[in-house]
Structure 1
């Protein structure tokens, strides 16, 4: 029998913020405790089209389903009126191996999974009174990270740093229309915010460690392939606490790995991000903390399974 195919509109109706946050939180905690199976991701690059493709698989121990996901990012697409992100998720029975459904989400679940992970980790690792937020980048993830983090804690000011002044101003106007106090900022000013999120496909660091103030938390979400790099190694040298969503992935192709190879930190200098979501931990007010998120297949599996349960109702 041909498995059902659900389109992005149907998926969007059920992939609520609460559903995705709950699924991602639980999956990060399970992953930190070794209760998942996640093979290394497959990467393809398309330099002539400024694009890349990721194939990720994952299983949460005891779950009825596992997933195989294709996610693409083609960064010239907006000039043609197209989204940068596309893809689909194949949900497969972990009992019989039969394909249960195709979620033709056009990259929606990847975007929301990434937004949830970034917001959860940033909220957990930032100082309780941290209120100013800076985002590097002007794409969909910059929008989502601000929106999802604002749902978890008050944000007094949003600083936006982008390569294109027009896009930067436009994004600030969007944030202002949503009720935020937002404005463009230089890289130096943005790096001095209480919370910093980098959401770019950069191949060299987008900020300087010297501009990051004591007490700041920085989350990088864009370094998901070996040639990408958002955060400078010397930022990791300053960090009192480093969290990674997947140790091996971040060591292989994350900003954490770049820092280890540069000698700025050790290969055992990180903690699983999920452990920081599972209970309270000590965070000195003056400490710099860093999270490196490369995207974990088990999170995709948890979100897709939750979405499919809602679609089946």
Structure 2
């Protein structure tokens, strides 16, 4: 202190429109991989999620927060789903903002646009699972789902592993050319298949909002790695529960996986128990061996946790401040 005055405190603001210029897929990957490891070692914890129906605009609104002691990151993501945004306002339906706080004093230190951040951190999580669980000789990437998020997933996967071909299925096949364009942009051929055709895939990413399984156990060959990224709510389901019984199941966070993730159905039907689900951070840390054989099916249940958002937001703020791109406001 100088003259008895409290030092000035500043808030760094990084708006949504700047995120694309500040956050690379590699930076996203690194932040998510690191925080998964911190979670598994007990150095980072997610707080209970709050999610409520507003009774207004049919919107769902909530908070995801946590504290990463290893990374010194404390904060929350506030936001949700407004299903009429696109048609009524020309805005995307998912809206969110991340707030970071100084863990030493509790004072707010940053506010970061959370929409693109969410898409990139979700794609990063599946890519982390591919790096640590897929066979090193995997050549064919299969996609189930072809919506907006699927393109982020595909780009991130192709930057993480050297695939030779992309195949895909979607409930609405007219959307598949969007994936084909991304594959072509990355220099790979794309082929539309029916669900049984996914047996040709060495890695499969599912990214749908389905409440009934489309991918069945019979559609998956031995040795496949699956990243199931669409199930994050009670009742949602992308893959047949019997598939989890055949697989070694990994997740971002066990508590979420077995209650709102893909594992909820296999646990409820007694096909697996919660103790058989392993945090992927344990593989990253080396306390779990991960894949044990070439024929083993591995499955990553990615429900999305608040610490992913905070880790990526912290990376964005660090870069924005270093480049002089953040708006800094004394408070």
Question: When the two structures are superposed, what TM-score results if normalisation uses the length of structure 1?
Answer: 0.91
Residue matched to 2:328 = none
| 8 A Cα contact 1:58 1:299, kept in partner | no
Instruction: State whether structure 2 residue 262 is matched by structure 1 residue 255.
Output: yes
Classify the secondary structure of the residue corresponding to 1:268: helix
In the TM superposition, what whole-angstrom CA distance separates every residue of 1:26-83 from its partner, at most 9, and x where no partner exists? 1000101111121121223589978644421011114443111024345666667543
Task: Tell me, in whole angstroms, the C-alpha distance in 2 between the residues paired with 1:63 and 1:174.
Answer: 34
Instruction: State whether structure 2 residue 160 is matched by structure 1 residue 132.
Output: no
Task: Tell me, in whole angstroms, the C-alpha distance in 1 between the residues paired with 2:59 and 2:208.
Answer: 13
222, 226, 234: which one pairs with 2:242?
A: 234
67, 73, 97: which one pairs with 2:106?
A: 97
Classify the secondary structure of the residue corresponding to 2:272: coil
**Deviation of 1:123 (Å):** 2.5
| 8 A Cα contact 2:133 2:291, kept in partner | no
Larger mean Cα displacement after TM superposition, 37-46 or 145-154: 37-46
Please report the RMSD computed on the Cα atoms of aligned residues, expressed in angstroms: 2.3
Task: Tell me, in whole angstroms, the C-alpha distance in 2 between the residues paired with 1:278 and 1:264.
Answer: 28
Task: Tell me, in whole angstroms, the C-alpha distance in 2 between the residues paired with 1:148 and 1:84.
Answer: 22
In the TM superposition, what whole-angstrom CA distance separates every residue of 1:203-262 from its partner, at most 9, and x where no partner exists? 1112111111111111111111112111221001111x2101101111111111211111
Task: Tell me, in whole angstroms, the C-alpha distance in 2 between the residues paired with 1:263 and 1:68.
Answer: 34
Residue segments in structure 2 that go unaligned for 5+ positions in a row: 1-8, 323-331
Instruction: State whether structure 2 residue 182 is matched by structure 1 residue 178.
Output: no
Classify the secondary structure of the residue corresponding to 2:218: helix
Task: Tell me, in whole angstroms, the C-alpha distance in 2 between the residues paired with 1:11 and 1:290.
Answer: 30
Q: 1:178 to 1:308 in 2, by over 3 A?
A: same
Q: How does 1:73-152 map to 2 (within 5 A)?
A: 73-74=81-82, 82-105=91-114, 107-152=115-160
Task: Tell me, in whole angstroms, the C-alpha distance in 1 between the residues paired with 2:193 and 2:149.
Answer: 18
Residue matched to 1:67 = 75
Residue segments in structure 1 that go unaligned for 5+ positions in a row: none
Residue matched to 1:198 = 206
Residue matched to 1:302 = 311
| 8 A Cα contact 1:220 1:292, kept in partner | yes
Task: Tell me, in whole angstroms, the C-alpha distance in 2 between the residues paired with 1:168 and 1:50.
Answer: 29
Task: Tell me, in whole angstroms, the C-alpha distance in 2 between the residues paired with 1:137 and 1:242.
Answer: 21
Larger mean Cα displacement after TM superposition, 161-170 or 241-250: 161-170
291, 297, 302: which one pairs with 1:288?
A: 297
| 8 A Cα contact 2:143 2:206, kept in partner | yes
**Deviation of 1:129 (Å):** 0.7
Question: When the two structures are superposed, what TM-score results if normalisation uses the length of structure 2?
Answer: 0.86
Instruction: State whether structure 2 residue 212 is matched by structure 1 residue 216.
Output: no
Task: Tell me, in whole angstroms, the C-alpha distance in 1 between the residues paired with 2:309 and 2:38.
Answer: 13
Task: Tell me, in whole angstroms, the C-alpha distance in 2 between the residues paired with 1:64 and 1:289.
Answer: 32
**Deviation of 1:263 (Å):** 1.1
